[in-house]
Amino acid sequence: MSLDDLQRRLALSLAGRGPAPAGLDENTLDRARHSLEAKRRRAAATLLPRLRTALGETWGASFHDHAVRYNPTGLLHHVDDAWELAETLLHHPAPQVACAAHDDLVSLRLRFERDRRPGALRIRERTGPLLALMRTPTRLLVVKMPGSDGKVWYLKV
Partner 1 sequence: MAELPFFGAGVSYRDAWRWDVVRHRDALGVVECIPDNIAGEAGLRDCVLIAQAVPVLLHGIGLSLGSAGGLDPDRVRHVARVVEAVEPPWFSEHIAFTRAGGVEIGHLAPLPFTREAVATVAANVRQLRAALPGLPILLENIAYPFSLPGAEMGEAELVRAILDETDTGLLLDLENVHANALNHGYDPIEYLESLPLDRVVEVHLAGGLWQEGQYLDTHSRCVPEESWHLLEWLIPRSRVRAVIIERDDDLPAFSALLAEVRRAEEVLCVAR
CA distances from 143 to 45, 100, 132 (A): 25, 19, 7
Size of residue set near partner 1 by CB under 8 A: 45
* 109, 130 Cβ separation under 8 angstroms: yes
Is residue 3 involved in binding partner 1 (CB under 8 A)? yes
Binding residue for partner 1, selected from 103, 112, 134, 144, defined by CB under 8 A? 112
Nearer to partner 1, 94 or 121 (CB): 121
Rounded Cα distance, 40 and 43, in Å: 5
Contact region for partner 1 (CB under 8 A) — 2-10, 55-63, 91-99, 134-142?
A: 2-10
Cis-peptide into 118, omega within 30 deg: no
Report the C-alpha dihedral over residues 13, 15, 17, 23, rounded to 10 degrees. 0
Nearer to partner 1, 13 or 62 (CB): 13
Give least dist CB 125 to partner 1, A.
3
Is residue 141 involved in binding partner 1 (CB under 8 A)? no
